[in-house]
Structure 1
Amino acid sequence: MASIDVNQAITSHKTATIRNYNTQPRLIYRTVVGVNGPLVILNEVKFPQYNEIVHITLPDGTKRCGQVLEITRNKAVVQVFEGTSGIDAKNTVCEFTGDILRTPVSEDMLGRIFNGSGKPIDRGPPVLAEDFLDINGQPINPWSRIYPEEMIQTGISAIDVMNSIARGQKIPIFSAAGLPHNEIAAQIVRQGEHSESNFAIVFAAMGVNMETARFFKQDFEENGQFLLLVVGFQWMA
């Protein structure tokens, strides 16, 4: 029987515990110890990372996706994007990918409609990605930005005169219940000049109902804006 070098075995074990898991193999656990609302708590997790994406497989084969929100020693709290109904502590399989959430991007996204997870909901084919970008982004250095000079005319005098909007500028427009804020947002999209060949508009609506989403979709279609638009809707819970 061949002898085992203890020091070599210890070195190999240390190497295995600190290696980069951003590539295969991914780590799979069946150590769910609790479910609380949209959160799943796992025990005995090896080197979890903040914002790490977790693929969850339910006992019936349903697949869901989540993100690590909190880490306490070898415990990890995962927020499940699609909800936690049907998840049990015994038969649920959690796969830690070792990577953050990235969204596929390409020029094929123009004229398409996506949900909050970046998946097409317009019955079209999946987007053939040219790159996968981190959704968390990076802080923007205001000194390195191009100075906003090109004005977007909304046709609303109170905005154009008192609080004008320029391309590349972030300006909140507040509204109240009963006011036509949806119509104003759609009008701003229509008024955006697109004389440049590399110009496009990304329209994102969060917490809207189906009626509001249908209004924007119909307005963009009627005014021929979809060719220069990327539309995303996050439905109201």
Structure 2
Amino acid sequence: MEDLITREYETVGGIAGPLLFLERAKAASFGELVDILLPNGDIRRGQVIELSEQHAVIQVLEDTTGLGAAGTRVRLTESAAMMDLSPDLLGRRFNGVAQPIDSLPPVIPDTRAEIIGRPINPVARDKPAHFIQTGISTIDGLNTLVRGQKLPIFSGAGLPAKELAAQIVRQARVREGMEAEAGPFAIVFAAMGVTFREASFFLQEFERGGVMEHTVVFLNMADDPAIERLLTPRFALTAAEYLAFTLGRHVLVILTDMAAYCEALRQIATAREEIPGRRGYPGYMYSDLASIFERAGRIKGQAGSITQLPIVTMPDDDITHPIPDLTGYITEGQIVLSRELHRRGIYPPVDVLPSLSRLMNLGIGSGKTREDHRTVADQLYALYAQGRDVRRLAAIVGEDGLTESDRRLLKLAQDFEQKFVNQGDRDRDIEETLDLGWTFLRYLPKAYLTRVKPELIERYYGP
């Protein structure tokens, strides 16, 4: 039955998990929000996610407890999922669907925007070209983060990914004195499927670091409906787009954990009885992830920028798992955390060798970081890789069987991990990071520094 005035339907054909199947809903449109009216008077929200001539599939955006087909009505609202936007977002805390959880009133909007967003026109994209300092040497020195980049952090269960994320939020900033400064810095933090303890940890860290006044926090808890996890990053990125492209801020977006997001995606796909893809994940997971990650970037003529640091927990530490594998195809590099370094008490346990920033060259060099940045990073990477090879050799033949240069490389690798990678929660300026890099290059004679220009060796190596 259809009421032409209110556009209400009583043709609920069935319910499967978080999905409600509505028959003969000819007036429904894809992406439209609906009100689900229960017989007891409760109202729950939903969204049309699939349409055919006979059926509309509605994704219930709240708890489904007590929801049944008998007596349930669906009212179409003729509106898409929208978010209220205002400069007052900064310093606020919201749940996964952008409802305030900080005991403050709702945001009074200056404007509203659809949370799905629109992909940035490739022609309108501006090339990332400016350095963001995180204060972490393994990122700033060797895998530099550039404004407008998407650079994921690949972690394993039990590794300190959340501590690293909180440290980056506390320390990240655009360096003073750099050219083309366009506006102040802001952070959007979105957590998906976190426990109460983890949420408390993040909030305490933000308060301790004094960054809450320019941070927007979205928290989707582990006991919240899984469907909210699909909306949380989209609400967060809608806020980021407003801060960046309307208010002209440089926005760093941290999304943790994308593995929880993908598990929610698989759960919904299973409820819809879709044909599974690799390891049970839906075949469209690549395009779905791309719809999130590709909202990072810079736009020509716009002052602000959006930079993403998604955190991905790799099941069984498997970097070939579909979640990190697809993420790596879309994003511009990766920061990989090492379980071996973590066991040895090194923090942050960033494994330098498999880590990569594909846009690093665009954000470093004279006028941005320092003229020797690229060559120092290349030479450190090469020598550390050789030192790791020597370590494996020493495990077989013993240190007595090594040459003098091999011993120097072995010591360089050990000290590099203990003094460069292992920095604790210290905030290192890029100048300090590069100077520290030179201390390891001095472990070997100048003749070994084949990747550094002679004039830079003369300037920085010393007598």
- The alignment's TM-score, normalised by the length of structure 1, stands at 0.83
**Aligned match of 2:188:** 202
Letter of the 1:66 counterpart: G
Distance in 2 between residues matched to 1:108 and 1:217, nearest whole Å:
18
SS in 2 for 1:155: coil
Q: Is the 8 A contact 1:48 1:76 kept in 2?
A: yes
Q: Is the 8 A contact 1:186 1:216 kept in 2?
A: yes
Distance in 2 between residues matched to 1:191 and 1:147, nearest whole Å:
24
Provide the identity percentage: 47
Cα offset, 1:29, TM superposition: 1.3
Letter of the 2:44 counterpart: R
Q: Is the 8 A contact 2:26 2:53 kept in 1?
A: no
**Aligned match of 2:214:** 228
**Aligned match of 1:183:** 163
**Aligned match of 2:19:** 39
Cα offset, 1:140, TM superposition: 1.3
Distance in 2 between residues matched to 1:96 and 1:81, nearest whole Å:
14
Cα offset, 1:162, TM superposition: 2.3
Q: Is the 8 A contact 1:47 1:74 kept in 2?
A: no
Letter of the 1:215 counterpart: F
Distance in 2 between residues matched to 1:151 and 1:33, nearest whole Å:
54
Cα offset, 1:178, TM superposition: 2.1
Letter of the 1:221 counterpart: E
Distance in 2 between residues matched to 1:178 and 1:35, nearest whole Å:
37
Which one is further off, 172-181 or 84-93?
A: 84-93
1:189/1:25 CA distance change after superposition, 3 Å: farther
Q: Is the 8 A contact 1:110 1:229 kept in 2?
A: yes
SS in 2 for 1:200: strand
Distance in 1 between residues matched to 2:98 and 2:173, nearest whole Å:
26
Letter of the 2:220 counterpart: Q
Which of 103, 124, 144 in structure 1 is aligned with 2:104? 124
**Aligned match of 2:305:** none
Q: Is the 8 A contact 2:93 2:101 kept in 1?
A: yes
**Aligned match of 2:57:** 77
1:25/1:185 CA distance change after superposition, 3 Å: farther
SS in 2 for 1:97: strand
Distance in 2 between residues matched to 1:217 and 1:42, nearest whole Å:
41
Structure 2 spans left out of the alignment, 5+ residues: 177-181, 224-463
Which of 120, 123, 128 in structure 2 is aligned with 1:140? 120
Q: Is the 8 A contact 2:135 2:172 kept in 1?
A: no
**Aligned match of 1:166:** 146
SS in 2 for 1:152: strand
Letter of the 1:123 counterpart: S
1:58 aligns with 2:44: no
Q: Is the 8 A contact 2:19 2:60 kept in 1?
A: yes
Letter of the 1:210 counterpart: F
Distance in 2 between residues matched to 1:36 and 1:227, nearest whole Å:
42
More helix by share: 2
Distance in 2 between residues matched to 1:140 and 1:130, nearest whole Å:
23
Letter of the 2:163 counterpart: E
SS in 2 for 1:98: strand
How large is the Cα RMSD of the aligned pairs?
1.9
Q: Is the 8 A contact 2:82 2:114 kept in 1?
A: yes
Distance in 2 between residues matched to 1:92 and 1:122, nearest whole Å:
33
Cα offset, 1:146, TM superposition: 3.5
Which one is further off, 102-111 or 149-158?
A: 149-158
Q: Is the 8 A contact 2:94 2:101 kept in 1?
A: yes
1:212 aligns with 2:198: yes
Letter of the 1:52 counterpart: E
Letter of the 1:56 counterpart: I
Distance in 1 between residues matched to 2:191 and 2:212, nearest whole Å:
15
- The alignment's TM-score, normalised by the length of structure 2, stands at 0.44
Distance in 2 between residues matched to 1:148 and 1:203, nearest whole Å:
21
Q: Is the 8 A contact 1:152 1:188 kept in 2?
A: no
Structure 1 spans left out of the alignment, 5+ residues: 1-23
Cα offset, 1:25, TM superposition: 5.0
**Aligned match of 1:107:** 87
Distance in 2 between residues matched to 1:135 and 1:232, nearest whole Å:
14
Cα offset, 1:84, TM superposition: 2.0
